[in-house]
Amino acid sequence: MIKRIGILTSGGDCPGLNAVIRSVAKKAINNGVGVVGIKDGYEGLVQGKGVRLSYRAVSGILTLGGTILGTSNKADPFHYAIKKRGKFIYKDLSRQAIANFRKWKLDALVVIGGDGTLSIGYKLFQKGMPVIGVPKTIDNDLMGTDITFGFDSALRVATEAIDKLHTTAQSHHRVMIIELMGRNAGWLALYAGLAGGGDVILIPEIPYNMDKICERVLGRSRRGKRFSIVVVAEGARPCGGKKTVSQIIKDSPDPVRLGGVSKVVCQAIEKCTGLETRVTILGHLQRGGSPTPFDRILASRFGDKAVDMILKGKFGYMVNIRGTKTGSYPLRLVQNRQRKVKPNCEIVKVARAVDTSFGD
């Protein structure tokens, strides 16, 4: 008998998190199951920060961005950062997390997040905790599912930004570079670049040649097209080169923060072509705002499926979607892996067919 479940959101925020919380809570309550919302991701699981989620508490949150439970992209129960005398030390506090799970008398835990969150969830499952994963990331890079919620909402923001850059690029006859998120995968830059009519798209999976980019920009200028739009994924790198790192966050499970490659590309284009070039780094705007209708529906479907799996006792799995049907995928196959763009995939071929350059 499932009497009470917990739910947490971990990692970076994105539109659609509240839609999952609402879906899980309402379906669980309708099936006579109590729900405990764990605050600030795995930090709350370690520190014992939980709150009962009533029907009223999750009403009216479908359209809200972010997460009413809060989140953290630093807390890992197995490698928990504690600051002492100005320095960070790391401890395995997974037993403390499990103790809180038992103190709340939970029968299952729904963890909503990306590869880091789900990898931690699988480790907790290995220690005996009944865990169900729900895939969330604007990067769309999780193994085992065709799409993650949050991606479509970020794609809308990125595409609208590219659309707006077109007008100023045309007016001032400039090369406009826009840098998008995505970490080590180029899905967001690829889709937004194609949807927004980007002339050059640079993604991590296809290393770029700076000379090829300059040739494309100059070629457009000579043909009378006196502006160009260059869409750059934050993880893009030159042939034989490395990714651009903006900073290192020492107390984070994933300490490397990518960013700044657009400035490198900007300087190279101006030096090579003499054309006026400007950079826009979209940053956390891609994570904010209300979820798109697609993400609201997908997140609601994921929440519904998660509760179904709990009621059937199917733990150690992530909710997924293949084609039009939701299903499940083993968490052990998700952990520490990323789904990346294949350089010869259909979307890349379509982009090339409309004369988009990938800098190669």
174 and 99 within one domain: no
Question: Token digits for 343?
Answer: 């350089």
Residue 32 has a CB neighbour count (10 Å cut-off) of 9
Is 356 part of a structural domain of the chain? no
Question: Which residues, 6 or more positions from 220, have their beta carbon under 8 angstroms from its beta carbon?
Answer: 199, 226, 227, 228
Predicted pLDDT at 251: 64
The reply to whether 121 falls in a domain is yes
105 lies in the same domain as 164: no
Both 55 and 110 in one domain: the answer is yes
Task: Say if residue 167 is in the same domain as residue 233.
Answer: yes
How many residues does the structure list for the chain?
360
Please report the pLDDT score of residue 121 as a whole number.
96
Q: Is residue 117 part of a domain?
A: yes
Domain membership flag for residue 353: no
CA–CA separation, 360 and 209 (whole Å): 6
Same domain? 49 vs 106? yes
Residue 142 forms part of a structural domain: yes
- Count up the domains in the chain and report the number: 2
What pLDDT is stored for residue 258 in this prediction? 84
- Residue among 76, 115, 139, 199 flagged as catalytic: 139
Same domain, 273 and 231: yes
Active site residue 13: no
Two tokens, residue 31: 């099936």
Q: Domain span at residue 162? A: 155-287
In a domain, 354, yes or no: no
Kindly report the CATH number assigned to the domain that includes residue 241. 3.40.50.460
Per-residue pLDDT of the chain (360 residues; tens, 9 = 90+): 899 999 999 998 999 999 999 999 999 999 999 999 999 999 999 999 999 999 999 999 999 999 999 998 889 999 998 888 878 889 999 999 999 999 999 999 999 999 999 999 999 999 999 999 999 999 999 999 999 999 999 999 999 999 999 999 989 999 999 999 999 999 999 999 999 999 999 999 999 999 999 999 999 988 988 899 999 999 999 999 998 887 777 666 677 778 899 999 999 999 999 999 999 999 999 999 999 999 999 999 999 999 999 999 999 999 999 999 999 999 999 987 899 999 999 999 999 999 999 999
Looking at the structure, tell me whether residues 320 and 281 fall in a common domain.
no
C-alpha–C-alpha distance, residues 296 and 22, integer Å: 10
How far is 238 from 207, CA to CA, in rounded Å? 5
Q: Which of 233, 268, 287 is the last residue of a domain?
A: 287
User: 121 and 49, same structural domain?
Assistant: yes
Query: Same structural domain for residues 184 and 311?
Result: no
Instruction: Please report the pLDDT score of residue 253 as a whole number.
Output: 64
pLDDT at residue number 85 = 80
* Residue 218 is assigned to a structural domain of this protein: yes
What is the DSSP code string of 283-341?
A: GGGGG-SPPPHHHHHHHHHHHHHHHHHHHTT--SEEEEEETTEEEEEEGGGTTT-----
User: Which two three-digit tokens encode residue 354?
Assistant: 């409309």
Whether residue 255 sits in one domain with residue 171: yes
pTM: 0.93
Q: What is the pLDDT of residue 235?
A: 95
Q: Are residues 29 and 144 in the same domain?
A: yes
> Is residue 357 situated within a structural domain?
no
Domain of residue 101, CATH code: 3.40.50.450
Instruction: Tell whether 201 and 116 lie within a shared domain.
Output: no
Residue ranges of alpha helices (H) inside the chain are: 17-30, 42-47, 94-103, 115-126, 151-172, 187-195, 210-222, 261-273, 293-311, 346-353
pLDDT at 156: 97
